Structure 1
Amino acid sequence: MIRWIVPGRLATGPAREAHLEGATRIDLRHLVDAAGNATDAVARHVADGVAALERGETLLLVCDFGVSRSNAVAAGVLARWQGLPFDAAVARVIEATGEREIKLDMLDTVRVALGAARRRQGGRTLVTGATGFIGRHLCTAFPDRVTGVGGRETLDLLAAPAQIAARLGEARAGRVIHLAHPRIYTNNAALGEALTMQKNLMDAAASLGVRLVLVSCAAVFAGGTTTGPVPPSAPPCPRGVAGQIKALQEGLLKLTVEASGLEACVVRLAQTYGPGGLRPRLIQSFAEAIAAGRPVTTHRFEDGPAKLELLHVDDAVRGLVEIAEAGTAPVYHLGSDDIATPAEIAGMIATRLDQRLDLAELPVAGRADRVRLDWSATRDDLGWRPRIALADGLAETLVALGLPGHSRD
């Protein structure tokens, strides 16, 4: 089986099956299919391949299965022969051969053999999940500093790490803010998918020296009993699948940083709201009920009502960009001074709509959510603090919902 990269000139394949009369054949089975290959030996193979092509010969690179070693070296040969950036050459090889499982360790060795830079100096900040609520606001607020990568048609995080690395390299990414998550993220199936997406992205980022910012949330503390603001150093204590997924993502990132040297941090957000957002859903449901003259029902748990820390999306995205570009701590919190019960939120909405509030309360079993994030370290480190008061943010959100109110000037 021969897989052509440049038809008639450059191909790869499994050693026992790929034979082509008259071609220069370089057998790479003596290399290890992992880290540890001598860069000078790999560099010689690349140079031999380029020399054969420049003599007008057909070049066939082979290894055991024609997947990793042969295609990694082929990318190096293609880059040198045609004067391409290495990451662009990798993308060409993957597209031509269909072999996506090229090992990053092998690509890293070829990259070093070519003298290509691993560490990304400067570069763009890429945002995964750019079609989501926070991602959209990031791209709109900072078009000159961030580039959004939307759905799987743009960057499939369930694809092989080599594909993701090639995409990051072509985009000249220096940092990635990771917001992408499974479409349905509150069931058990989402857990495995979220971790797979993140692991693929982390492997690609580590290979290129790209900084990774993992966006987490206050839900990782929802199972605890702390009444005061929770510091970044506190251990996660999640409740519910969504919080468990985020806690596991944070743990996986920590393990990867320790094992690979990946440059990364976690940013935990308070409950984020604002125009175009669906959460917390009580804002929209309360507003629609009040506008229609219907009663609003809030919940009283066994220990009282919930208290929500609400962070406007504009403050959240500003903090994310500042942390991505200048943060050095392993964990950051982005929170707010605005702490309100659902009944208080309903009252603020009724005032903005100039409507009477008919409030009812429903007893619910269990403990209420009252997590507050201590974001003082973020303020001290980067000078960040929230700027948008809850009253103004709610008014802006109501306008976006097509209800009376007023936007911020």
Structure 2
Amino acid sequence: MIRWINNTLGTAAFEDPATAGHEVLDVRSLVDGPANGVAALRERIEAGLTMLQKSGRLIVCCDYGISRSNTIAAAILARREGISFDEAFATTQLQTGEVRMDYGIVQTVRATFDAPNSQPAVAGRVLVTGGTGFLGQWLNRIAGDRFEFVSHRSKDIDLVASPFGLDAVVRKHRPDTIIHLANPRIYNTHEVVGQSLAMLRNVADVCHQHGVFLVWPSSWVVFSGRKNEGEIVIGDDVSPMPYGNYAMSKALSENMLDYLSKAGHIRACILRMTPIYGKGSSLPRFLFRTAEACLAGTPVTTHCYRNGRPKLQLLHASDAAQALALAAAKRPEGKFNIGSMEARTTQDLARIIAEVLGTPFESQEIQLQASVANITLDTTKARNVLQWSPKMNLKEGFEEMFLSQ
């Protein structure tokens, strides 16, 4: 199928029968990625312009009609119409419906048009993906006076589909750091694994292209498969053992950043955080179910597993945001555990909530024939390198969450 950009210029796969009888520019000699030389790119663009001028109609073809064909077609459109490559590229995407073009070849073709961007990154300017979400709002509240934040909502940039929206924002604002908070909205399906990896890879590619440092929050759930080891303390360099789709997405994302870092593709800081709570979030849901039971005067339901009562190392959002801010300021590479002072059983947490709400406490415990991962993250490295430590105690955190207006 030929996808027409305008009345004279289209793209297709080279072996598509629909191209028969049309003037065809074959760009299969080019490769995806950033490896093409400027001379080879310009030769194909100039050849396309000459063919289009002679025949009046041209189809640009690569193997699948996706990356090389559409990128070169955009360049031909830009030259023929006297417009910027970015404008022509946006038109090509809109008219063809193709957003999956290879990021590397697009950047090299752009470089044949534009003088290299001599504007350096702005020190202290931080781009936050998903910046209007729960943690993004806390980050702005905690550190908004220390950084120049550029926040974008997840719905403004489709990070799953391609890196091009983020690339345009980075080229416009020139941040020196990206804090990547955006996540798939639904986080417990098989699909979330692929979406999370696609989002992070697109962010990482943009960071590589522009020399931007990446700060990314992972989660304690990468260790959620450690269910038969009793209560254990986990250091920063312990290998993940995930259980469930959300945990798998975080663990695989950590691995991907490790590979990219070792290859010199990116500089990144991973903050592995325990469960985050605070005003503005509906998680962890156990806290809210407990508050509802206390206010209704009904028993709080907790569980006991084969290997003991579950414990949570709750981290207030203000402390999580402070860790993100310190990572953006200090820009250390590697993994850092971020968690509260200690893990508390769900019964202990329920008692504190009842005390905060001023209600009697009554509980009922259900025995479960399964094991639970009781993990405590060792935060020594974060304290030493980031000079970070949690400030909010549980009672104050619950007061802020349940009693403040």
Distance 2:391 2:79 in 1: 48
Aligned position for 1:147 = 150
Aligned position for 2:60 = 62
Deviation at 1:75, TM superposition (A): 5.1
Aligned position for 1:263 = 267
Aligned position for 2:127 = 126
| Post-superposition CA distance 1:161-185 (Å, at most 9, x none) | 4455345434545433233333322
Residue identity opposite 1:40 in structure 2: A
Aligned position for 2:159 = 157
Structure 2 residue 250 is matched with structure 1 residue 252: no
Deviation at 1:398, TM superposition (A): 0.8
- Give the alignment of 1:72-221 within 5 angstroms: 72-73=71-72, 78=78, 84=84, 90-113=89-112, 114-117=114-117, 121-122=121-122, 124-143=125-144, 145-152=148-155, 154-170=156-172, 172-221=174-223
Distance 1:139 1:361, change over 3 A: same
Deviation at 1:130, TM superposition (A): 3.7
- Give the alignment of 1:226-375 within 5 angstroms: 227-259=231-263, 261-375=265-379
Distance 1:96 1:210, change over 3 A: farther
Number of equivalenced pairs: 390
Deviation at 1:344, TM superposition (A): 1.5
Deviation at 1:260, TM superposition (A): 6.2
| Post-superposition CA distance 1:331-357 (Å, at most 9, x none) | 122111143211211221222222221
RMSD of equivalent CA atoms: 3.7
| Post-superposition CA distance 1:301-324 (Å, at most 9, x none) | 223222211111011112113213
TM-score, L = length of structure 1 = 0.80
Distance 1:373 1:250 in 2: 16
Deviation at 1:34, TM superposition (A): 4.2
Deviation at 1:26, TM superposition (A): 7.4
Alpha carbons 1:229, 1:374 under 8 Å: kept? yes
TM-score, L = length of structure 2 = 0.80
Which one is further off, 42-51 or 213-222?
Answer: 42-51
Alpha carbons 2:267, 2:333 under 8 Å: kept? no
Distance 1:12 1:112 in 2: 23
Residue identity opposite 2:149 in structure 1: V
In structure 1, list runs of 5 or more residues that go unmatched.
403-409
Distance 1:103 1:368, change over 3 A: closer
Distance 2:327 2:304 in 1: 37
Identity %: 31
In structure 2, list runs of 5 or more residues that go unmatched.
none
Secondary structure at the aligned position of 2:314 is classed as: strand
Distance 1:315 1:80 in 2: 54
Distance 1:303 1:42 in 2: 63
Distance 1:391 1:260, change over 3 A: same
Deviation at 1:298, TM superposition (A): 1.8
Distance 1:379 1:226, change over 3 A: farther
Residue identity opposite 2:217 in structure 1: V
Deviation at 1:155, TM superposition (A): 1.2
Distance 1:260 1:43, change over 3 A: farther
Distance 1:151 1:35, change over 3 A: closer
